[in-house]
């Protein structure tokens, strides 16, 4: 049984080596990170048993579907930046969790700055999605909670980046998520994603939140484990990494789906000569600062 001194040493010295993340001074601003691992179903069951004393189910229920419509530039600049592993990059997506007409969907920018993850999110009423995408209505009225000042700011950021990148819908990604959060004070979230599916989506349709489409099942992957945390792994998460010999993977669902569709002969980028691409879709993603 490790002593308190052993635990402290493991948290400070071993965790960064295993996870590949830096340690931050306690006086620094909290930083959010995520680590991904491709694991087998057998490993997933064993990991769930191991973490059971430390976690509880997500507040939305620990099992649900996640559906995300990804937007990208005509030459898929955001796809390419993720595929190339650029340290500073973005994803633009609209995410929903069910098909209920009264449930909001979330306009989201996922920004990566080196290894730090930042998200800018706005809950939007489902009836207003097309108005927001077209720019017809960007008032508080479209928000699920009109009084949310931060949400309207995030929505305007989304529209600004969307316009600068000439981004439009490209692919819808769907999967089943099993989610847990730490039952302690540390902000740790652990998810198991299964049954990845995708759908070419070159325009927005409200029906993407439903089951009626001919979803393309991508069953080549068993389980995608994601661990999201602030500043550093707590000790018990470091134990999971070591005990199951987990190796980090840079897997991105959007990238995987675009590539999978291409192998089927389905292209989701615009067909245009390279010389016709606008400057907004060239260069690195570092130019897009908020």
Per-residue pLDDT of 190-200, as tens digits, reads 999 999 999 99
Per the CB < 8 A criterion, the answer to whether 105 and 96 are in contact is yes
Please name the residue that has the structure tokens 């402290």.
8
pLDDT digits (tens, 9 = 90+) for 239-272: 999 999 999 998 999 999 999 999 999 999 987 5
Kindly list the distances between the CA atom of residue 223 and the CA atoms of 127, 159, 255, 275, in Å, as whole numbers in the listed order.
Answer: 33, 33, 17, 41
Q: Cα(209)–Cα(205) distance, rounded to whole angstroms?
A: 9
Beta strands in 40-115 (DSSP E): 55-57, 63-72, 88-96, 105-113
pLDDT at 285: 55
H helices of the chain, in order, are 4-9, 15-19, 41-51, 77-83, 129-134, 149-164, 235-243, 253-263
Q: What is the pLDDT of residues 38-69, one digit of tens each?
A: 999 999 999 999 999 999 988 777 899 999 99
Q: Write out pLDDT tens, residues 116-144.
A: 899 999 999 999 999 999 999 999 999 99
The residue ranking higher by pLDDT, 207 or 16, is 207
pLDDT tens digits for range 221-237? 789 999 999 888 889 99
Interval 20-35 mean pLDDT: 54
Contact 77, 70 (CB under 8 A): no
- Report the C-alpha gap between 116 and 114 in whole angstroms: 6
Handedness of CA 89, 262, 94, 175 (dihedral sign): negative
Both tokens of 202, joined, read 């070159």
Confidence of residue 14 (pLDDT cuts 50, 70, 90): very low
Domains of the chain, earliest start first: 30-269 (3.20.100.30)
């Amino acid at each position: 049984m490790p002593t308190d001194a052993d635990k402290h040493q493991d948290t400070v010295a071993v965790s960064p080596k295993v996870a590949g993340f830096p340690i931050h001074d306690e006086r620094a601003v909290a930083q959010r990170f995520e680590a991904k691992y491709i694991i087998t179903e057998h490993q997933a069951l064993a990991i769930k048993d191991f973490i059971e004393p430390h976690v509880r189910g997500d507040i939305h229920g620990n099992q649900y579907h996640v559906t995300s419509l990804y937007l990208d530039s005509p030459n898929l600049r955001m796809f390419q930046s993720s595929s190339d592993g650029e340290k500073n990059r973005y994803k633009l997506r609209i995410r929903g969790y069910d098909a209920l007409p009264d449930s909001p969907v979330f306009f989201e920018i996922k920004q990566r700055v080196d290894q730090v993850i930042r998200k800018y999110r706005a809950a939007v009423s489902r009836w207003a999605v097309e108005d927001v995408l077209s720019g017809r209505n960007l008032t508080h009225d479209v928000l699920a909670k009109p009084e949310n000042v931060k949400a309207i700011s995030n929505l305007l950021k989304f529209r600004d980046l969307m316009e600068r990148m000439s981004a439009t819908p490209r692919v819808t990604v769907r999967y089943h998520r099993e989610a847990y959060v730490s039952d302690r004070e540390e902000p740790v979230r652990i998810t198991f994603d299964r049954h990845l599916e995708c759908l070419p989506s070159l325009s927005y349709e409200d029906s993407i939140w439903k089951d009626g489409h001919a979803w393309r099942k991508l069953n080549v992957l068993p389980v995608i484990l994601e661990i999201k945390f602030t500043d550093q792994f707590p000790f018990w998460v470091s134990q999971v990494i070591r005990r199951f010999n987990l190796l980090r993977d840079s897997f991105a669902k959007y990238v995987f789906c675009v590539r999978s569709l291409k192998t089927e002969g389905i292209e989701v980028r615009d067909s245009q000569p390279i010389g016709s691409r606008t400057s907004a879709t060239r260069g690195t993603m570092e130019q897009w600062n908020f």
